[in-house]
């Protein structure tokens, strides 16, 4: 029997961020940044253009600093693999307002679609469970996304991890701003921190 | 002069407590660390303080990214590590440079003074340069009585002037390694 078609990454992220409310979003470099930008520009988005492996930890520092806001890291399997130890760190810290969402196509998309460890059999959801994350969800269809979406806005019950199975293949690039100082100041201003 | 005397001087001045007080005075509310015997007391003080979020890391570069997230959210963070972890941070420091995000790390030195482990020497020798190539300003802390002045100056440069600062705590000041057995 044929597998159901995997989710389009753009549609998946758009659905995830609909009615995002108070959500603060950190994106992993590459396609995840483009997906979140394409879903709607927002000063509460902080797009990474480098720092590979750091997205989840930026989310942790932010979630600890802003305990009354839900924080979501949206990244790819390759980016999360490079910072795989951060899942253990996040679990050990038991931060309740943080969710890590991995868009998993089993490939390193930015560099020519080489097969990633995830594509070679590693199970990020199992690793997240093994790291001790409180809540781990596997999502492979729009219903799964719709069921999960409200939990993104919770400021308790975390740390959560969701692996979204997305389709492989090229998607048109949508490029967010690249100036890190601009992105930083815009984000902090959104939180009411004066830019000096 | 003997080994115990060097260690005693450090204990008497309680320099980790002076670091802790100075960080508190500068509003530091997040501390992350990869454990090091030289930082043991500061880690303990940090864990015991409800006003400080203290995070144990699996590798030092996690702490660089954590510091960036803390700053985005309006908090001041400090990373504690040993010199052997500095090389692990190199690429992640580009985040701080690209976004001009304050960064402060306190690095306990190995491989530079009365070192017994040859494996510590290459990274110990390369530590200042590894930081400097990424734009981090390096301070040295050689004497316990200078702690407050040096840490306070580093905090101002980092958190008020958006600089990336490392304070290298000299191995001579830390004293010779004493094996720490389980209590």
Minimum mean pLDDT among A105-119, A134-148, A154-168: which range? A105-119
With a CB cutoff of 8 Å and minimum separation 6, the contacts of A23 are: A17, A44, A69, A70, A71, A72, A152, A153
**pLDDT reported for residue A120:** 96
Contact criterion met (CB < 8 Å) for A52 and B91: yes
Spatial contact of B69 and A59, defined as CB atoms under 8 Å apart:
yes
B32 to chain A, closest Cα gap in Å = 10
* CATH no. for B3-174: 3.40.50.970
**pLDDT reported for residue B13:** 60
DSSP tag of A30 = T
Residue to substitute from A57, A83, A93, A186, interface B, most B β-carbons within 10 A: A57
Q: Please state, in angstroms and rounded to a whole number, the distance separating the CA atoms of residues B90 and B131.
A: 7
Contact criterion met (CB < 8 Å) for A85 and B101: no
pLDDT surpassing 80 at residue B176: no
What is the SS3 assignment for A75?
Answer: strand
Q: What is the mean pLDDT of residues B83-106?
A: 98
Q: What is the mean pLDDT of residues B164-173?
A: 97
Tens digits of residue pLDDT in A67-115: 999 999 999 999 999 999 999 999 999 999 999 999 999 999 888 889 9
State chain B's mean pLDDT as an integer: 92
Task: Identify the band that residue A62 occupies on the pLDDT scale cut at 50, 70 and 90.
Answer: very high
Q: Please state, in angstroms and rounded to a whole number, the distance separating the CA atoms of residues B68 and A124.
A: 25
Pairing of strands A71-76, A45-47: unpaired
pLDDT surpassing 60 at residue A159: yes
**pLDDT reported for residue B182:** 62
pLDDT surpassing 80 at residue B178: no
Q: Please state, in angstroms and rounded to a whole number, the distance separating the CA atoms of residues B98 and B77.
A: 18
Tell me the angle at which helices A31-39 and A9-17 cross, rounded to the nearest 10 degrees: 50
pLDDT surpassing 60 at residue B172: yes
Spatial contact of A59 and A72, defined as CB atoms under 8 Å apart:
yes
Task: Identify the band that residue B2 occupies on the pLDDT scale cut at 50, 70 and 90.
Answer: very low
Contact criterion met (CB < 8 Å) for B57 and A83: no
Q: Which of B62, B66, B68 has its CB closest to that of A85?
A: B62
Contact criterion met (CB < 8 Å) for B72 and A62: yes
The pair of three-digit structure tokens given for residue A21, joined into one six-digit string:
């409310």
Across the beta sheet with B103-108, what order do the strands follow?
B53-56, B28-33, B76-82, B103-108, B164-169, B137-141
Whether the CB of A55 is below 8 Å from some CB of chain B: the reply is yes
Q: What are phi and psi of B157, to 5 degrees?
A: -60, -40
Task: State how far the alpha carbon of B111 is from the alpha carbons of A7, B82, B84, B121, in Å.
Answer: 52, 10, 9, 4
pLDDT surpassing 80 at residue A1: no
pLDDT surpassing 60 at residue B6: no
A51 φ/ψ sector (left φ>0, alpha ψ -120 to 50, else beta): left
Tens digits of residue pLDDT in B108-126: 999 999 999 999 999 999 9
Tens digits of residue pLDDT in B30-85: 999 999 999 999 999 999 999 999 999 999 999 999 999 999 999 999 999 999 99
Q: What is the mean pLDDT of residues A120-147?
A: 97
Q: What is the mean pLDDT of residues A144-152?
A: 96
Q: Please state, in angstroms and rounded to a whole number, the distance separating the CA atoms of residues B24 and B40.
A: 17
Q: What is the mean pLDDT of residues B83-100?
A: 98
**pLDDT reported for residue B156:** 98
pLDDT surpassing 70 at residue B138: yes
Q: Please state, in angstroms and rounded to a whole number, the distance separating the CA atoms of residues A114 and A72.
A: 27
Q: Which stretches within A5-161 are classed as H helix?
A: 9-17, 31-39, 55-65, 77-82, 85-93, 124-131, 142-148
Contact criterion met (CB < 8 Å) for A83 and B70: no
**pLDDT reported for residue A195:** 84
The pair of three-digit structure tokens given for residue B99, joined into one six-digit string:
């976004």
Task: Identify the band that residue B151 occupies on the pLDDT scale cut at 50, 70 and 90.
Answer: very high
pTM: 0.94
Q: What is the mean pLDDT of residues A13-24?
A: 96
Which residues sit opposite B106 in a β-bridge? B80, B167
**pLDDT reported for residue B179:** 67
Spatial contact of B101 and B162, defined as CB atoms under 8 Å apart:
yes
Nearest partner of A136 among A86, A87, A83, judged by Cα:
A87
State chain A's mean pLDDT as an integer: 95
Q: Which residue of A has its CA nearest to B55?
A: A93
pLDDT surpassing 60 at residue B5: no
List, as one string, the DSSP characters of B66-135.
HHHHHHHTT-EEEEEEEGGGGGGGTTTHHHHHHHT--EEEEEE--SSSS---GGGHHHHHHHHHHHHTTT
**pLDDT reported for residue A4:** 62
Domains of chain A and CATH, by start: 9-190 (3.40.50.970)
pLDDT surpassing 90 at residue B149: yes
pLDDT surpassing 60 at residue A150: yes
Q: Is the dihedral of CA B66, B72, B73, B78 positive or negative?
A: positive
pLDDT surpassing 50 at residue A127: yes
Q: Please state, in angstroms and rounded to a whole number, the distance separating the CA atoms of residues A53 and B59.
A: 11
Q: Please state, in angstroms and rounded to a whole number, the distance separating the CA atoms of residues A193 and B15.
A: 33
């Amino acid at each position: 029997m044929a597998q159901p078609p995997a989710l389009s990454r753009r549609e998946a992220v758009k659905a995830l961020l609909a009615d995002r409310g108070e959500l603060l979003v950190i994106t992993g470099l590459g396609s995840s940044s483009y997906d979140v930008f394409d879903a709607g520009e927002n000063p509460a988005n902080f797009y990474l253009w480098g720092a590979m492996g750091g997205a989840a930890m930026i989310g942790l520092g932010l979630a600890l600093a802003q305990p009354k806001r839900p924080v979501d890291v949206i990244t790819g399997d390759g980016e999360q693999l490079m910072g795989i130890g951060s899942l253990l760190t996040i679990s050990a810290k038991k931060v309740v307002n943080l969710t890590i969402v991995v868009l998993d196509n089993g490939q390193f998309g930015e560099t020519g679609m080489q097969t990633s460890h995830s594509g070679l059999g590693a199970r990020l959801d199992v690793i997240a469970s093994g790291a001790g994350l409180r809540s781990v969800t596997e999502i492979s269809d729009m219903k799964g996304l719709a069921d999960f979406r409200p939990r993104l806005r919770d400021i308790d019950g975390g740390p959560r991890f969701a692996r979204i199975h997305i389709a492989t293949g090229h998607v048109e690039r949508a490029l967010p701003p690249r100036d890190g100082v601009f992105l930083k100041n815009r984000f902090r201003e959104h939180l009411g921190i004066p830019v000096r | 002069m003997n080994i115990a005397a060097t260690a005693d001087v450090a204990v008497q001045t309680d320099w980790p407590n002076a670091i802790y007080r100075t960080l508190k005075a500068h509003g530091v509310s997040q501390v992350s660390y990869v454990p090091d015997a030289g930082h043991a007391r500061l880690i303990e003080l940090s864990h015991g303080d409800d006003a400080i979020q203290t995070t144990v890391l699996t590798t030092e570069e996690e702490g660089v990214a954590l510091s960036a997230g803390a700053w985005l959210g309006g908090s001041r963070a400090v990373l504690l590590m040993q010199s052997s972890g500095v090389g692990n941070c190199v690429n992640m420091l580009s985040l701080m440079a690209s976004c001009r995000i304050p960064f402060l790390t306190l690095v306990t030195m190995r491989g530079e003074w009365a070192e017994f482990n040859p494996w510590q020497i290459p990274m110990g020798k390369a530590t200042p340069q590894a930081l400097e190539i990424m734009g981090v300003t390096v301070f040295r802390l050689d004497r316990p009585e200078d702690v407050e002045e040096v840490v306070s100056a580093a905090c101002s440069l980092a958190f008020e002037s958006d600089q990336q600062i490392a304070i290298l705590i000299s191995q001579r000041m830390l004293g010779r390694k004493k094996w720490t057995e389980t209590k």
